[in-house]
Structure 1
Amino acid sequence: MGEDVDRREFSRADRTRYRVKVRRGLDAFERMLREAHFEFERPMTGLEIELNLVDERFEPAMRNAEALAAIADPAFQTELGQWNLEINLAPRQLSGHGASTFESDVRASLNAAEEKARAVGTRQVMIGILPTLRQEHMSGRALSGNPRYALLNEQILAARGEDLHLAIDGRERLRATSDTIVPEAACTSTQFHLQVSPEQFPAMWNAAQAVAGVQIAVGANSPFLFGKELWAETRVALFEQATDTRSEELKAQGVRPRVWFGERWITSIFDLFEENVRYFPSLLPICSTEDPVDVLDRGDTPALAELTLHNGTIYRWNRPVYAVVRGRAHLRVENRVLPAGPTVVDILANGAFFYGLVRALSDEDRPVWTQMSFSAAEENFHACARDGIAAHVYWPGLGQVPVAELVLRRLLPLAHEGLRRWDVDTEERERLLGIIEQRCATGITGAGWQVRAFHDLFDTSSVSRDEALRRMLGQYCDHMHANQPVHTWPSAVG
């Protein structure tokens, strides 16, 4: 949910009016798909990275407003927690050396922002969950100042009717409660965008769903929460629970969660927006003055404000996006699977793997999603979040297979071919996909390095658990700024 909002209380009439407007927007969207109202001349990609702010001791720094003022760059904006920022990169083509320009632009922006952020006593960290976060940081005071976050907090908790309960069983066991949605802010992600035509969208989305688990396995970077060692990508379990509007009774009835993998392969992007309207009540019933059908009738492009706002409060791991840019509508797959970090080059390697793989899989005569059940893809997703690079997954023609073996034997060649079809330079794809190959060969991801470094410090010295996590994070930050791939990082030193 990226739009500013100012309404704080909603009546029954507001919700009724909003439901009518959402359904009218869905009708307009269906008509736009039928009449080909979408721009698609060349494939464009986009990138968003969520960041954490820490102080000189690598503890969370609740100072994003000060940091933003110092950075003074419109590419940076606030996120849910006061220790969060987000950087948005302008869309660009993937072909040629597009990934390298992304890499150089992100590094230049982060380096400039880091220098300015240090002037107000903060540093930036790209990591899935900040290891030094503790439960005492989860109070309502940690929400960012923008009113939309307080409003979202109120509406989620009102819909739920009770405090949030976190229960994650990994290498250790976590049980916690929260009277705010601030734990969601612990989840910092990388989001890849891919602009597609309406005709291409279902195949691209299905392919993205099919490989979501593998993405997490090779990109996991969130093994710690509140001092506990949990899943390789604990962010998945945390995000699913921290934004859950369902009571235990509604869960038992099978009501769908707002953080949702989905339940079926699709044949049109309309399927996803129609599911949004059918299954999910409004959280923020804010109505615009636009009548989208009237806008279409006069030959203009509607913003579909209610439909897009509603879509922004349903947290699919691969989200459909409708947007209007310079008066033209376009569609995107927003891939929200991966955590932030560990380095810019690691992020770009993850992006190359994703873009190449979904292109190759979506072009196949007999696509992978016609050979496996949707539930198998979901089971892969959670197995990989739990076990990371050590996970076993189901893949058609292979059965249950170690994920590293699947990537090396089957998926990396497909990703290379997909990038070739995107016209990515040979040297570029070999460099970036070589990083994925080496992670699989060494078994080292961001999560793996964090766990190994933590135990090097905690198991062999007298430091406390919190101190070991703090020192580990300090070394992580040094490596992050060096921008060498995580599989090359040395183990921790005391």
Structure 2
Amino acid sequence: MGTDSSLVGGVAESTDPETRAAFERRVDEQAERIRADIRSGRLDTDEFAVGMELEGYAVDDAGRLARVPEAVFDRADCGKELGVHNFEVNSAATTFDAAGIADQAERIRANVDAAASALGEVDLAPVLDAMWTIPPAEGTDAYLGSVERRDGVVVAENMRHHPRYVALDNEILERSDGSITLDVPGVSLSYPTILMESLATSIQPHLQIPDVETFPRYFNLALRTMGPVLSLSSNAPFLPADCYDDDPAVIDATPHELRVPVFEGSINADAPRDEGKVRFPDDVAQATDVVDRVVADETYAPVLADGDDPNTSPYRATIREYDHKRGVHWRWVRGVVGGHPVGTEPDGASLRIEYRPLPTQPTVRDTIAVQVLVVGLLRGLGTADHPLTELPWAAARDCFYDVVADGPDAPLAWVTADGDRTTDPETVYDELFAYARRGLRDAGLDDDTIDASLEPLERRRDGTVPSAWKKARVREAVADGDTLPEAVERMQRDYIERAGGETPFVDW
């Protein structure tokens, strides 16, 4: 069967009612086994563990968005994403101790270097950034909107031609009346594909929780840290330059984190914010809640996993339909079942938190700092029995979306160690870093290592964050006489020249 037939056939199989019914049966059966494993303690592990996913995109020698050739993925051992310009590197899980954190840093650096080397062989370069803004040669509209119909199936030219992605695209298009729209300050976009979602890239720290009985506490703490951590790391204030008219008012009006409305808008159609498939998750009362939510979530683009998958752990090989459905259970924090825990038997399994709201950072050092802050903070808050979970869920949600809009200028929401509500950023950041330090010390890191790891983020407390830097550079270029599109491109070329090196963002 040729590639074209495989795509069309894969979409047809995914939309077949019998496939959907069989898929749902398997998900139900696998979920029941997972619940039993949670209750029996099978997903308990010996210790905390950490990992990281990092997404980026490729550019040519003119700084324009570029397609990544297939050969690059084999050479660099990195993963593919929705857009043909995207790549992802992962650092495999390590123990959450001094040696493991050091190993994470080495692995992230090595994986980014490998991607850079493989891309360099085809005259391309990786960019560590949260949203591409210099379009490819044909322009943003042509790139994102180029589709064709093959036997009734919409195939986006610049989407990875994998049946899973194409089936997902077609299912969401059907639910969205054939058009994906985005309305943000200065821009109204509409495309016949979800490829707009590939504008955004992110980093996702992972924290394995050793005792599933405590998992709900860590999960609920994670929700309440999202806004404050994002306020230190926002990095996506602009869409591609050619999307804009020459209206400088956009600079102040545009959100600091366009990734969030782009992702939610690409997937959710007209669903209310708290009901869309991409959203701020609810609290959990027990670990099995994360399983129940995957089961109850709407099924998109089901695939029956027949045949062996050598790239998955023994445990996850038994829950492949559940795993597939969890993969499209898009929440800004997720519970992930089944990963192989560090240093245990081959058939071991775990339960971990995937922390998803954060944009890709400008450098590897900044990325490592974010990972260390997140995992240290969650561990420190959790082991100290900090009362942050007393912050109402709605306040945590509103804080997150306020930061999406206003970045470091947004009001924050927090409950202090004394049980007091506060919106004072200095108080919030004091506790944020104090409890991150506590969690890292509990993991065995010494104070000098902790200080060096957190410094690139701690120095952002005055509002010096990537999104604010980008807005300031664009504002300066407009004042120099550039049009808004010219100013966005000028800023981005400066960003690309600086990004990816060893100099942390705060020293730019």
For the aligned pair, the TM-score class normalised by the smaller chain equals: 0.7 to 0.9
SS at match of 1:166: strand
How far apart are 1:366 and its partner, in Å? 5.3
Which residue of the other structure, out of 250, 262, 265, is the alignment partner of 1:238?
262
Q: Which residue of 2 aligns with 1:154?
A: 170
Moved more, 407-416 or 384-393: 407-416
Q: Which residue of 2 aligns with 1:296?
A: none
Give per-residue Cα distances to partners, 1:261-315, cap 9 Å, x unaligned. Answer: 123x21222112212222x22112223469xxxxxxxx98862122111111111
Question: Structure 2: any 5+ residue segments left out of the alignment?
Answer: 1-5, 146-155, 245-250, 308-313, 341-345
Q: Which residue of 1 aligns with 2:199?
A: 186
How far apart are 1:324 and its partner, in Å? 4.8
Q: Distance in 1 between matches of 2:315 and 2:445?
A: 35
Q: Which residue of 1 aligns with 2:28?
A: 23
SS at match of 1:482: coil
Cα 1:118–1:28, aligned 2, differ >3 Å: closer, same or farther? same
Is 1:367 the equivalent of 2:387? Answer: yes
Q: Which residue of 1 aligns with 2:361?
A: 341
Q: Distance in 1 between matches of 2:388 and 2:16?
A: 46
Is 1:408 the equivalent of 2:423? Answer: no
Q: Distance in 1 between matches of 2:472 and 2:190?
A: 29
Give per-residue Cα distances to partners, 1:29-69, cap 9 Å, x unaligned. Answer: 11111222225122221111001111111111023425335
Contact 2:27 2:322 in 1 (8 A): yes
Question: Structure 1: any 5+ residue segments left out of the alignment?
Answer: 291-298, 490-494
Give per-residue Cα distances to partners, 1:179-236, cap 9 Å, x unaligned. Answer: 1010111110001111113123211111111101111110101110133542111101
Cα 1:60–1:39, aligned 2, differ >3 Å: closer, same or farther? same
Letter in 1 for 2:175: A
Letter in 2 for 1:137: Y
Letter in 2 for 1:322: V
Q: Distance in 1 between matches of 2:315 and 2:491?
A: 54
Counterparts of residues 21-60 of structure 1 (less than 5 Å):
21-38=26-43, 40-60=45-65
Q: Distance in 2 between matches of 1:79 and 1:223?
A: 22
SS at match of 2:448: helix
Contact 2:60 2:125 in 1 (8 A): yes
Q: Which residue of 2 aligns with 1:270?
A: 288
Q: Distance in 2 between matches of 1:398 and 1:129?
A: 37
SS at match of 1:31: helix
Q: Distance in 1 between matches of 2:413 and 2:182?
A: 28
Q: Distance in 2 between matches of 1:364 and 1:217?
A: 24
Q: Which residue of 2 aligns with 1:433?
A: 454
Counterparts of residues 28-427 of structure 1 (less than 5 Å):
28-38=33-43, 40-68=45-73, 72-74=75-77, 76-133=78-135, 134-139=140-145, 140-168=156-184, 172-197=185-210, 198-227=212-241, 229=251, 230-244=254-268, 246=269, 248=270, 251=271, 256-263=275-282, 265-278=283-296, 280-288=297-305, 303-325=318-340, 326-365=346-385, 367-369=387-389, 371-396=390-415, 399=421, 401-403=423-425, 405-427=426-448
How far apart are 1:243 and its partner, in Å? 1.4
Contact 2:57 2:132 in 1 (8 A): yes
Q: Distance in 1 between matches of 2:485 and 2:192?
A: 24
How far apart are 1:433 and its partner, in Å? 1.9
Contact 1:50 1:85 in 2 (8 A): yes
Counterparts of residues 406-485 of structure 1 (less than 5 Å):
406-441=427-462, 443-461=463-481, 463-485=482-504
Letter in 2 for 1:57: A
SS at match of 2:131: coil
Contact 1:132 1:466 in 2 (8 A): no
Q: Distance in 2 between matches of 1:465 and 1:18?
A: 49
Q: Distance in 1 between matches of 2:45 and 2:365?
A: 28
Cα 1:114–1:47, aligned 2, differ >3 Å: closer, same or farther? same
What is the TM-score normalised by the length of structure 1?
Answer: 0.87
How far apart are 1:258 and its partner, in Å? 0.9
Q: Distance in 2 between matches of 1:159 and 1:273?
A: 25
Letter in 2 for 1:306: E
How far apart are 1:341 and its partner, in Å? 1.5
RMSD: 2.4
Letter in 1 for 2:70: A
Q: Which residue of 1 aligns with 2:248?
A: none
Cα 1:453–1:97, aligned 2, differ >3 Å: closer, same or farther? farther
What is the TM-score normalised by the length of structure 2?
Answer: 0.85
Contact 1:260 1:314 in 2 (8 A): no
Q: Which residue of 1 aligns with 2:153?
A: none
Give per-residue Cα distances to partners, 1:76-107, cap 9 Å, x unaligned. Answer: 12111111000111211231154343333322
Cα 1:30–1:111, aligned 2, differ >3 Å: closer, same or farther? closer
Moved more, 137-146 or 181-190: 137-146
Cα 1:300–1:106, aligned 2, differ >3 Å: closer, same or farther? closer
Letter in 2 for 1:231: P
Give per-residue Cα distances to partners, 1:330-368, cap 9 Å, x unaligned. Answer: 111111111111111111111121111111222243531
Q: Distance in 2 between matches of 1:378 and 1:255?
A: 10
Contact 1:301 1:327 in 2 (8 A): no
Cα 1:255–1:195, aligned 2, differ >3 Å: closer, same or farther? closer
Q: Distance in 2 between matches of 1:357 and 1:366?
A: 11
Letter in 1 for 2:103: T
| Percent identity of paired positions between Structure 1 and Structure 2 | 24
Q: Distance in 2 between matches of 1:402 and 1:138?
A: 41
